[in-house]
Structure 1
């Protein structure tokens, strides 16, 4: 099978930001059936495509009834569910375990008996293997050494998922492929989507949508530690294509960085967003986050390019413009999700 034409596909976490964009790309290739399992902990139902080929199950993949009812003829599985993100996992490590570790173990245990599987693609975390440095980053390769000391339960959980997948690959020949994410951004990431998860980061989640929203409201962008931290920003449609390449061309047992290979500082990001939007409010410099030692990092895309034929094609500024346009067009949808947390975060009431 060189495409997803006629395939039966499971996307765990398919209502989320990355998952929903992946589902839309999959539907372009005429699959027979796409099953989404998502408990909407950090996602919104509006992200689920209205398509007769899509079956949506609103529940956790840890639920035994859900696992038992999974189709026995699955061709591909994408495991994207997680407890979003680092700050929420620090606030509630047990919830992270329930939604970011147990999900992987129970899913892989169920999948080991499905003989039709061609590939199981796992969303791994590039941050979990990147060098902890503020002294200048080098591109992180797939074979980078893994430390036993981590900044968050989220990072630990994502590595445990890799380890469980490796075990099921070695023991049961589960066709397991690891796709190491960098910092994904783009349309579909809704501030406030899902249920309250204990911290303000339920609303103010990743840096790009936060900066875009604040810039559109002429607010100061909060840049920590002088903005010297850096990330590898990859547009969500590129990420979706990369995940599909992992499923179609990835070698079981292997790891592939899905990365742009371009290092961008947070100060550069803030400046770029303000410039595109036309926000003249000065950037607000704030202290460094006390938990984050992973200051500067970006991924090495060479292996994915060579082995999968995957290259991220959307330039950062172009991707930001598309994301800003989407944010403007979906303002009411975003406000609705943000205001659902007004009891815990009264400040969001100012957006109307």
Structure 2
């Protein structure tokens, strides 16, 4: 079975490629433009496996994308995206190109019959924010993005929905909560904490640190996507949540505790513009319809993640 993975050299995409190589016999093609957040050496090393083919290219470039369309795919799993909110606030150009135009180009290719189905990987941020007492987001929650990144992801979600409704293409959407685990870029929340703590530098925490995120270990996310790939229903949206709601400040303190570092490294800074207060995901549909359940606990997975980043950063500082 041939599978095309877009963004397969990035954080979640690379973990998914590892998952497919370990748990399936699929033939895998990866397309990735190898931006700053990718892992070119890791994906290049994986090409020693005869089941993996790598194509360097941008999904927003039609000719780059067509270079991967020399075969029929059982499925396309679409991870490729710009995803760092802070960067989108500074300049959203790349977000519009990759997240919206890139998804459009993929959908146009799907119209030609290159794949039997496609999973579009999205985010809980398209739903906006919750108050502390509101129920978690479900697949029926309205889209209400509050920053340029989530707005471009919501836009791509709507394109996918429209192409399903208009052209009856075999499309599915997943929306996940905050991922953590190996290969995440150092600009993100948990890697930043680890890197700053390793260097005994001040750790910047937005606002009062009381923002709540629902943490999902990337391996559990990959397992969910694999289930949806095999048994998901076209036209459906599947929420993938960790069920681990934590305040940002509590996550920071736990990481410092794991690393044997002082809370005095914490430094509160001006809050991010349009900062969502709380995310929480209801994954009951995925659990009841496809039988997904998490395999890991937050504390053990956080411990593993911190150790991975310590090992990774240790070679570069």
- Give the TM-score range, shorter chain: over 0.9
Q: Which segments of structure 1 move beyond 6 Å, counting only runs of 4 or more?
A: none
Match of 1:142 among 135, 139, 152: 139
2:156 maps to which residue? 161
> 1:216 aligns to what?
198
1:37 aligns with 31
Instruction: Give the 3-state SS of the residue equivalent to 2:264 in structure 1.
Output: coil
Name which of 7, 16, 20 aligns with 1:13: 7
CA distance, structure 1, for counterparts of residue 22 and residue 207 of structure 2: 43
Unaligned segments of structure 2, at least 5 residues: none
Residue correspondence of structure 1 range 97-246 to structure 2 within 5 A? 97-114=96-113, 116-117=115-116, 119-133=117-131, 135-147=132-144, 150-191=145-186, 205-246=187-228
CA deviation map 1:258-283 (0-9, x unaligned): 11122111011011101111112414
For 2:134 and 2:269, how far apart are their aligned partners in 1? 21
- The structural deviation recorded for 1:220 is 3.4
Contact 2:61–2:102 (8 Å) recurs in 1:
no
**CA distances 1:82-134 after superposition (whole Å, capped 9, x unpaired):** 113211112222221111110000111111212651x311111101104354x
Q: Is the 8 A contact 1:8 1:31 kept in 2?
A: no
Match of 2:296 among 314, 326, 333: 314
Three-state SS of the structure 2 residue aligned to 1:231 is strand
Deviation of 1:25 after TM superposition, in Å, equals 0.6
- Aligned partner of 2:74 in structure 1 is 75
In structure 2, the CA distance between the partners of 1:139 and 1:132, relative to structure 1 (3 Å rule), is closer
**CA deviation vs aligned residue, 1:158-201 (integer Å, no higher than 9, x gap):** 1111111112212222211111011001011132xxxxxxxxxx
> Are the equivalent residues in 1 in contact too, given 2:200–2:265 (CA < 8 A)?
no
Whole-angstrom distance in 2 between the partners of 1:95 and 1:323: 28
Q: Is the 8 A contact 2:204 2:269 kept in 1?
A: no
**C-alpha spacing 1:47/1:17, structure 2 compared with 1 (3 Å):** farther
Provide the residue aligned with 1:274 in structure 2: 256
- Do the aligned residues in 2 keep the contact of 1:259 with 1:312 (CA within 8 Å)? no
Q: Deviations over 1:194-231 (max 9, x none)?
A: xxxxxxxxxxx221111122223333332222211010
Secondary structure at the residue paired with 2:80? coil
Q: Paired residue for 2:63?
A: 65
Mapped contact 1:139–1:261 kept (Cα < 8 A): no
Q: Distance in 2 between matches of 1:31 and 1:61?
A: 25
SS in 2 for 1:317: helix
Whether the 8 Å CA contact 2:211–2:277 is kept in 1: the answer is yes
Residues 298, 74 of structure 1: alpha-carbon distance in 2 compared, 3 angstrom cutoff: same
Asked whether the 8 Å contact 2:32–2:58 carries over to 1, the reply is yes
Query: For the Cα contact (< 8 Å) 1:11–1:37, is it kept in 2?
Result: yes
**Alpha-carbon separation, structure 2, partners of 1:31 and 1:287:** 48
**Residues 261-308 of structure 1 deviation map (CA, whole Å, 9 limit, x = unaligned):** 221110110111011111124142424424134111211111111112
Name the CA distance, whole Å, in 1 between partners of 2:275 and 2:39. 31
CA distance in structure 1 between the partners assigned to 2:231 and 2:166 by the alignment: 22
